[in-house]
Homo-oligomer: A and B are copies of this chain.
Amino acid sequence: MALEPAILHALASPRRQEILRLVWRDEQTAGAIHRAMPDVTFGAVSLQLRRLLEAGLVEARAGKENDRRNRYYRANREALAEVAGMLERMWDDALWKLKLAAEMEESRRGPRPHNKKNKKGKKR
């Protein structure tokens, strides 16, 4: 369960949000995306695209025929729909509640040390 941290993490970066917006309606080449954000290098854009790909938030294809060196990226809208749905379901999801109950069971017992003990006596 865990609310898909990978997707949420990918969404949390303003840079990746910007990219996502650019490929929301139509697919765009990596180059066109880079031109829309001139403050970073092409390499940085490429790395962020990879993260979005890994999170399943965008998809990519290579160009056809005499255009095989371009790569076209587009948003995977379904993936975002899933996140939205998941957040909505949280409200009355029985599994969620059960998971919570188990965790609280665990936490209702005795105190634990306030701090971990110091491994080496560093002066301060």
Contacts and interface: CB of A to CB of B under 8 A. Distances in A.
Interface of A: 2-3, 5, 8-9, 11-14, 17, 21-22, 24-25, 28, 31-36, 38, 41-43, 77, 80-81, 83-84, 87-88, 90-91, 96-97, 99-100, 103-104, 106-112, 114-116
B21 A96 contact: yes
Contacts of A87: 80-81, 83-84, 87
Nearest to A25: B100
29 contacts: A3-B11, A5-B13, A8-B8, A8-B11, A9-B12, A11-B12, A21-B100, A22-B100, A22-B104, A25-B97, A28-B104, A28-B107, A32-B107, A34-B112, A35-B106, A35-B108, A35-B109, A35-B110, A35-B111, A36-B104, A36-B107, A41-B114, A41-B115, A80-B87, A81-B87, A81-B88, A81-B91, A83-B87, A84-B84
A109 B87 CA distance: 39
Contacts of A32: 104, 107-108
A105 B59 CA distance: 22
Contacts of A11: 3, 8, 12
